[in-house]
Chains A and B, each alone.
Chain A
Amino acid sequence: MSVAAIGLDAGSTTFKGVAVDKTGAILARQLEPTKTDLSRQAMDVLGRLRADAGAGDGVPVAATGYGRKMVGGAGRVITEITAHGKGAFHLAGRGLTLVDVGGQDTKVIRIGDSGRVEDFAMNDKCAAGTGRFLEVILGRLEVGYDQVMGLVQKAEGRVSISSTCTVFAESEIISLLSQGVPVEEIVYGVHRAFAERVGALVRRLGSPAEIHLSGGGAKNGALVRLLGEQLGAQATVLPEAQFVGALGAAISVS
């Protein structure tokens, strides 16, 4: 199949890009940490996607993500909300409630059966409930993402972190460590606090029986499980979870 469009998602933590055919199937993908020189990075990623997918210069390009305005050559620039709405609808093939846990913000998007974004909610001016929260806390605990699920399964769940503010939660954790509380209990408490925060954001838009997850946070199995429990809803991770925004951007111009 020939390339119909390219979508770039300049996120706060990772830069994603996909090349798709006219059915929306992904032919090539790129993912790397976001760099400081976004315009240059966008050109590099675009160049690689074109080479990998055999796309000419005429293939339309759309950009999304917080760095979307820095993407030169994009024929269309859309917000992450619309991009994720389009991408998720394409992947799920029906209306859904999407929870995108990104580095800088967490978005909850309600998408109707026609594919239109009906409503959305985001975390306010604060890192609580975002990927950055977990990154900071897990960094403090010297725990890698691949260890999280094992630790959460081991925990008895006897610690609760009352603060969802990243800075205050970090102080709370230092205090727990000094009391000799096992790391797995803290990891569990942190994830539960996170799930409560994101859960409240979801409930702002209703009480769905099922939620779909995307973004870097969707790779965190413990978070997915706890969020589902918190909401009493089935939590399903979308395929291509980290590329949903880039895919939606590509679809918007294909």
Chain B
Amino acid sequence: MGPPLESSFKLRELMAAHYLCGRYAEGAVPVAWVTSGAPVELLRPYGFHVYYPENHAAICAARHMTKDLCLAVEETGLSRDVCSYARSDIGGVIADRTPVGGLPRPDLLVACTNICQTVMYWYKDLERRFNVPLFVLDTPFIYGEGRAHDEDYLVRQFEELLALCERVSGRRVSEQEMAHGIETGRACSMAWRDVLELCRNRPAPMTAFDAFVHLAPVVSLRGEPGCLEYYHMLRDELADRVAKGIGGIENERHRLLWDNLPIWFMMRPLGRLFASEGFNFVVSTYTNAWAETAGLFDPKDPLRSGAAVYSKIILNRDLKHKRELILRLARDYECDGVVMHSDRSCKPYSVGQYDLADLFTREHGLRTMVLEADHGDPRSYSAEQGELRVRAFMETFE
């Protein structure tokens, strides 16, 4: 493994402060619980403290709490086939357990279907538990380039969402305030993109496993000034590494692309395993998802441009788009191979991976492997078999 990033200390501080604020948010500011694909830029100007159950679930997974939280909800009858983020979140609500000290009760729930349909049922469950308004933002799946009337449909939903935000927060937001919110959010996403793009260098100054951790602010704090400052700091540190030729791992021999969410509870052992043979994950479709459509936001026309930003992300588009995206990233980042995490919990992300893997191997000369696991539930991963597959995959490069 390479030397630790100095910025990590600041990251811990930033995220700890976020969750600490959350503990005191209830009653002080309106609180919204939102999905990772929700248009937070539209909510921030209303003064919401925004809490991301998915980010929290990732923290629970990295701290090996997921199994117990899942059991709390499985005991009530929810199937193990449901996403482990949903299970650990609802389980945490039932058991009143969190590693971050305490979570604020929501005043508003916003679920956007651009990442999956599960979020709709998950948030309906939360709606019943908390008895607060739920807004489901329905983003029609895009085949090909999308349709104009889908964009109109999204704009209308945004208008309804803004009216609801106004009612829940008791606040009106001017056009200038909204434009400022959009601009700050956009700047955060662009800064994140700049951070990721530094990994095009050889050696890449950080691994995708690092990026999974440093992703937290652009997910949870997008549009907050602290987020932007943080990514400027990280960008500078990485640029310095590039100038000095310091890599995210020692002796980068092969460059890989990671597809799908991380296996949060196996990040360290997997990172070490790949690094031990000089394999560096220099890019991932997952971290790229928060940079992918960033440039499309237009502060002058937040709703129409927002429709593109929130519908044109990887999980809301067809397999052809995913194929082209992976090929472009693999080319831009000079990857020799692709590791596809077939995530038992994230079916929309995992569908088509075997076909893509075949295609990449046969037609594009990329070595590929599919690793079957789960982003949160350790019961869906066999460490011994996983390591065997990874080692065998690495041996094919010799």
Q: Which A residues fall within an 8 A CB radius of B?
A: 66, 78-82, 105, 116-120, 122, 124-125, 204
Contact = CB atoms under 8 A, between A and B. Distances in A.
A43 to B, nearest CB: 23
B372 A117 contact: no
Given A80-B388, A125-B385, A117 B354 contact: no
Contact of A117 (B380, B384, B385, B392): B392
A78 B388 CA distance: 10
Nearest to B370: A121
Nearest to A77: B391
Contact of A79 (B354, B372, B381, B391): B391
Contacts, number: 35
A81 B380 CA distance: 23
B385 A81 contact: no
A223 B396 CA distance: 29
Given A125-B372, A125-B382, A81 B392 contact: yes
A47 B169 CA distance: 78
A105 B385 contact: yes
B361 interface: yes
Interface string B49-92: 00000000000000000000000000000000000000000000
Given A124-B372, A204-B354, A116 B396 contact: yes
5 nearest A-B residue pairs (beta carbon): A81-B392, A79-B392, A125-B382, A82-B395, A79-B391
21 contacts: A66-B388, A78-B395, A79-B388, A79-B391, A80-B388, A81-B392, A81-B395, A105-B385, A116-B396, A117-B392, A117-B395, A117-B396, A118-B396, A119-B361, A122-B385, A122-B389, A124-B372, A125-B380, A125-B381, A125-B382, A204-B354
B372 A82 contact: no
Interface string B356-374: 0000010000000000100
A224 B384 CA distance: 28
A118 B395 contact: no
Given A78-B395, A125-B381, 12 more contacts: A66-B388, A79-B388, A79-B391, A81-B388, A81-B395, A82-B392, A82-B395, A82-B396, A117-B395, A120-B392, A124-B385, A125-B382
B375 to A, nearest CB: 16
B351 to A, nearest CB: 15
A189 to B, nearest CB: 28
Contacts of A118: 361, 396
A110 to B, nearest CB: 10
A107 to B, nearest CB: 9
B389 A66 contact: no
Most central of B372, B381, B391 by chain A CB within 10 Å: B391
A215 to B, nearest CB: 15
Contacts of A105: 385
Nearest to B381: A125
A66 B384 CA distance: 8
Contacts of B380: 125
A197 to B, nearest CB: 16
A78 B380 CA distance: 26
Contacts of B391: 79
A108 to B, nearest CB: 12
B276 to A, nearest CB: 13
Nearest to B361: A119
Contacts of B361: 118-119
B121 to A, nearest CB: 26
Contacts of A81: 388, 392, 395
A118 B367 CA distance: 8
A116 B398 CA distance: 9
Contacts of B392: 79-82, 117, 120
Contacts of A204: 354
Nearest to B385: A125
Contacts of A117: 392, 395-396
Nearest to A124: B372
A122 B382 CA distance: 13
A204 B370 CA distance: 12
A73 to B, nearest CB: 20
